[in-house]
Structure 1
Amino acid sequence: MAKHALMSPSSAERWMCCPGSVPLTQNLPDESSPFAAEGSCAHEVAARCLEENQSASIFIGRRFHDIVVTAEMAEHVDAYTQAVRDYRQHPSDELLIEVALPIEVITGEADARGTADAVVLSFGKQEVSVIDLKYGRGVRVQAEQNLQLIIYALAVLALYGVIADWQTVRLVIVQPRAGGVSEWVIAVGELEAYANQLRLAAERVRQALSDGPTHFLNPGEKACRWCRAKAICPALSAQVLKDVESIPETTPTTEIAHLLPRLGLIEDWCRALRAEAERRLIAGISVPGFKLVEGKKGPRAWDDPTQVESLLKSMRLKAAEMYDQ
């Protein structure tokens, strides 16, 4: 029976750089966010559009994952689905949508699976295309050497290797709100080097799960960006405090240049620490010297009610959903 993968393809960048992050995050709550819900909504609409060969516009006003599909979202989803259709260039090409791929061959984790948004098997070109929708707009994701897509590709080759002599793999990121399409083509034979690196990293993760995370923590920009354990990671805390304490009273230009690249990670740690303190206080857990205080209520008024009304109408909402009467 398939289970949630501890070494998931989507977090491969993290556990490959920092094997200790896996046991450190293993029992943490997987708290969702409005951005994650928005992405889940876009992915569900995209899958339905590909399965039913429809435009996303027919879903405007409908709600998925507590998010209402807007005209803007439909436009971005259509950009993705059109890109997927463009990669299926021949009638014999097979399109797989939201396909669950066994990744045990890479990570060694029994029954673990990862779900690829879309896979195109091009028999004529002997090419596998792995296509992933990224709905975020904040961080541009590149296809080149993308570990998540590499794991999907390796899983596809292991699963469908007997039906064709695949020669190339095409990895594609479609990110409509942050740059469009990123593409990377690699020969099947060259993927084996990445497979070996991933297997070695997975072995270190298993050691961290067995021995504890302490000696397997390796904080850094790539490892920590999306890690849920930033606020409780002893290695990251030590690294941040070391960086801050190393600043002399009169900071030379060279030291400023050395520290500037670290500011993003330090700021991420600060935000995570504040969020963790707030979470504990809300849960009734004492944080000595701190308490929750209700903030001032801000003004709640639309800047342009007419524009808001037009937007809500475009979502095809009912009057009772649009107005407080």
Structure 2
Amino acid sequence: MSKVGRIKLGSQGLEVSSQGLGCMGMSAFYGPPKPDSDMISLIHHAIQSGVTLLDTSDIYGPHTNEVLIGKALKGGVREKVELATKFGVNLNLAEGKREIRGDPAYIRAACEASLKRLDIDHIDLYYQHRVDIRVPIEVTIGELKKLVEEGKIKYIGLSEASASTIRRAHAVHPITAVQLEWSLWSRDVEEEIIPTCRELGIGIVAYSPLGRGFLSSGTKLVETLSDNDFRKNLPRFQPENLEHNKTIFEKVNDLAAKKGCTPSQLALAWLHHQGNDVCPIPGTTKIENFNQNIGALSVKLTAEELAELESFVVKGDRYEGNLATWKHADTPPLSSWKA
């Protein structure tokens, strides 16, 4: 099994495993929730293997993923991990609406609720999951800064934030990590977001590094998705785009076969080659897939192989409709805020 190294995330002292574990799919969005006992075994196996950055959010379930992680951290496990969770996507179950919130009262209530569900006294890395474009980012970060001072959170992160939002946030309190979708089939962040993070000394956490699973198994994945799997509706999985995107998987698969690794190991290795400030967080619900994922750490790529992988162009948007992403994440100026 590959040795999992350690990397520094950001410039404030947080150190994490060079690959993390995304926990969302254990409880939400990718079909029915998986049995707690199996997922706790997987989490413990990950930690024993050296993967110590666990990534969750209050919206996963909602809430049930944090409860699961809390159970997994019992019995002296908490001290061995760097735990990341998120706030900001408020699900109004009564009205079936999703609302993005970054106002101080909401942040504080969300943090207290996460601490309770996780049954811990502090969160290592607390992300704003999506940016509330009604609230100046300075106000949001100002409240998070108070939570740092109170010892409730150690480090602050942003997810799906624009370059200007990252800059403004970082001016209020150092941002330790920005979480974004980055993979062989989601590379638009390379133009502005990645350079901004690097200029400011902010760590990069890549979610969906396997292209929502497509870079692991290609069109086979789409054929096996359950009805309540949200990936069924993603533009890249629709017939008009899938035929083209299938050829990308085939090329990745061919190169992986030549390298003697799997397509998912190749896709993860590509991210590991982007710099030692990048931590991919592939999610899985199976120990064998987890073992395969950390095998990516020993896959070495030449400049020619990297260039070949970077020549592929994906068809279709990342999300359907107007879901909040970094492209629509600028907030009003601080002068406009009336508390």
Fold conserved between structures, TM > 0.5: no
TM-score, with length taken from structure 2: 0.25
TM-score, with length taken from structure 1: 0.26
Structure with the higher helix share, 1 or 2:
1
